[in-house]
Structure 1
Amino acid sequence: MNSIELIKRFSDVNGVSGFEDEVAQLAKEIIGNDYPVCEDKIRNLYINNIEKEKRTKPVVMLDAHSDEVGFMVQSIEPNGLLKFIALGGWSNQQIPAHKVRVLNRDGEYVEGIISSIPPHFTSKADAGKVTDMKDMFIDVGTTSYEETVNDFKIGVGAPVVPDVICTYNEKSRMFLGKAFDDRVGCAVIVDVMKELKDKELDVTLTGVLSTQEEEGCRGAVVATQKVMPDVAIVLEGPPADDNFRGAYRSQGALRKGAQVRHIDPTMIANPRLVRFIQKIAMENNIKIQETVRESGGTNASKIHLENGGIPTIVIGIPVRYTHSHYGFISYDDYIETVKLVKAIAENITKDIIDSF
């Protein structure tokens, strides 16, 4: 499977927070017999994790979260509409009038649409106002509670995912799809580990597709305690900013390469690790862009505090319109990120890690 198909398949698969099973299954199918894989009870997927007492080399953990933002059914109205809550962070203005898929009790996805009020019934005073999510509903095309529950077999607690199919434009080399935060990181891990399978490294690479990042980075806590890495690289799909900031202020631009994060409110990157990555990028002519974030957070927030403090870095592929139904990413940024992570793995040693 080439990288383009890999990205598309990871984007298309369903997996909101707490319901990441399809993502793990896809990753296992792609990894095949290249590495041993296992899962834990929070549904983290581990690729090539070696028990601590059997290790002969330092461990570099590649982490990407497998969940995507979505919704969950909270209750069902007498007219069959679904009241819902958010899984992950959403802006109210991005939610209405989009298609979704609701998982029913038979394990089948039912098409629906997030309700919006037609302009014919909107007063001039309310025109242009953004509806609060608590006043929105999901409509699956039923007209009664009984039809929704008995015929469509939808119940309270059902996960809801955006109904989007990923496409790739060969001319622009852009993907348009859902869940790039953070399925693009999952794809990077699989690509890197498959490409380095027969490479003799001075470290052991362990890949983790961690769960429930969008609901508090929960899977990463469990995963880090299990893997106990010496260094962690968190692969992310961070928000792009080049569509609303000028060239000199933008630090998450499409086609500008892998994004290396110095800081966000939840973690300051290990500066010695940052300098090592800058050096690797320069020596290998890999395009990177550096960011100082005033908001946001990733699994790195939990990982870097475990095991006495783990040198951790966030490397991202910028996503336009992340945390919405649709997003754009650049294939060129993906390629630069894969090159960067491979170069780090090929050049890092125990002595270098000790210097961090």
Structure 2
Amino acid sequence: MTESNPQNSVLPSVMKHLQALVEATGPSGSEEDVVQLVVKAARPHADTLDVDAFGNVIAVRHAAQADARRCVISAHMDEVGFRVYKIGGDGFLRLEKLGGLDDRILPAQRVWIRTDSGERLLGVIGTKSAHLLGDADRANIVPYASLYVDLGARSRQEVLDMGVAVGDPVGFVGSLTELGRQTGRYTAHALDDRAGCAVLLTLLERFHETPPPVTLVLVFSVQEEVGLRGVSALARHIQADVALALDMTAADDTPEFSGPHLQLGAGPTVKMMDASTQAHPAIRRGLLGAARKRGVAIQREVLKGIGTDAGALQYLGQGVPTGAISVVNRYTHSPVEVLDSRDLEGAVALLEGFLHDLPDLDLRFVALDETGSD
């Protein structure tokens, strides 16, 4: 593999991984099925592969030189979802949220309930029939605590007989599907951040035959959606010279907004800041320089209402230069998230270019005048 390898060759790999990953049900703390898929895909291309006690998957591809820099890149495997909170005597399930879900979109959604045996059972989040709505119903948002899942059961015992128990994970139903015809734009639940995982798996494949220019530590993390918990545990002992998060970010290019900040199809974003991170200036310079050098379209991201694994990775050791790349996503944290495949291609190209430049990148926060003169 050489640095000039054309980026358009990566799309089949990214989409293949993404298709498989979004089929799994893996709300925060219940990512086991996603872990299995990631391990199977990463193992043939990694020098070492481990799953830690938290559930994070760590795949390492060594550089040819033992003293090469180390770069950690993290994408999270978990999705927003629920756990079964209560099984009613009438056979309806009550839910507890996992992650930032919008109560407005929850009624009338199809969901999977995953039992301890690994079986997935289909349910629907109930909603009043249109014929039975009153004026108050039409004006109000039903809070999630009042919602229920209809599993088709007639009693609590029927639910128990199906193998459902309090605490079982619940996730949205969906498959990766192209919108329209030949648009290159795809919808699914859990694109956040299975798309990031798919990009990392493709990046790892790119270095199958030739070692990367730096030692690459790819982290597929757990429990990001409930407070960056998986990678926070990992950050206490992992060592690196540079850290990046690869996640999704919210598009505002739909009719509800004017003057969009982030648009589908305009390229991956280079994070400037968000609620969890102020990107290190050396990483910003490195990512922007890699994009310019290779003609990769990018967007600059400033979004206070979001956080990524970078918020925990920045504390590696005594602190390391940290930044983030995002793929723009419409309708985040919903069952119908939408991305543009061109942005996935761009993310692979940007990461690969950054890694090739990293051995010579000045990682200092600022270049100081070492002469001591005023």
Aligned identity (percent) is 27
Q: Which of residues 278, 293, 306 in structure 2 aligns to 1:296? A: 306
Residue 209 to residue 302, structure 1, CA distance change in 2 (3 Å)? same
Pairwise mapping of residues 202-281 of structure 1 onto structure 2 (< 5 A)? 202-243=213-254, 244-246=256-258, 249-281=259-291
After superposition, give the CA deviation of every residue in 1:123-144 in whole Å (9 maximum; x if it has no partner): 1233132100010001101111
- Residue in structure 1 matched with residue 167 of structure 2 by the alignment: 157
Amino acid at match of 1:334: L
After superposition, give the CA deviation of every residue in 1:303-347 in whole Å (9 maximum; x if it has no partner): 112311121111011111110111111000000110000000111
**Distance in 2, Cα, partners of 1:193 & 1:345:** 12
The reply to whether residue 40 of structure 1 matches residue 40 of structure 2 is no
**Distance in 2, Cα, partners of 1:72 & 1:172:** 35
The reply to whether residue 30 of structure 1 matches residue 71 of structure 2 is no
TM-score by length of 1: 0.94
SS at match of 2:237: helix
Q: CA offset at residue 44 of structure 1?
A: 0.4
SS at match of 1:348: helix
SS at match of 1:183: helix
After superposition, give the CA deviation of every residue in 1:159-212 in whole Å (9 maximum; x if it has no partner): 001011111356100111110110011011111111023334441011000100
**Distance in 1, Cα, partners of 2:301 & 2:364:** 25
After superposition, give the CA deviation of every residue in 1:10-31 in whole Å (9 maximum; x if it has no partner): 2222211011111111112112
- Residue in structure 1 matched with residue 337 of structure 2 by the alignment: 327
**Distance in 2, Cα, partners of 1:188 & 1:251:** 23
The reply to whether residue 171 of structure 1 matches residue 182 of structure 2 is yes
Residue 224 to residue 197, structure 1, CA distance change in 2 (3 Å)? farther
The reply to whether residue 111 of structure 1 matches residue 135 of structure 2 is no
**Distance in 2, Cα, partners of 1:112 & 1:274:** 45
CA contact (8 A) 2:203 2:348 kept: yes
**Distance in 1, Cα, partners of 2:203 & 2:92:** 44
- Residue in structure 2 matched with residue 128 of structure 1 by the alignment: 139
After superposition, give the CA deviation of every residue in 1:24-49 in whole Å (9 maximum; x if it has no partner): 11112112322121101110000017
Instruction: Count the aligned residue pairs.
Output: 350
**Distance in 1, Cα, partners of 2:66 & 2:210:** 17
- Residue in structure 2 matched with residue 9 of structure 1 by the alignment: 20
Which blocks of at least 5 consecutive residues in structure 2 are unaligned? 1-11, 367-374
**Distance in 1, Cα, partners of 2:361 & 2:141:** 55
**Distance in 2, Cα, partners of 1:351 & 1:174:** 34
- Residue in structure 2 matched with residue 75 of structure 1 by the alignment: 86
Q: CA offset at residue 355 of structure 1?
A: 6.3
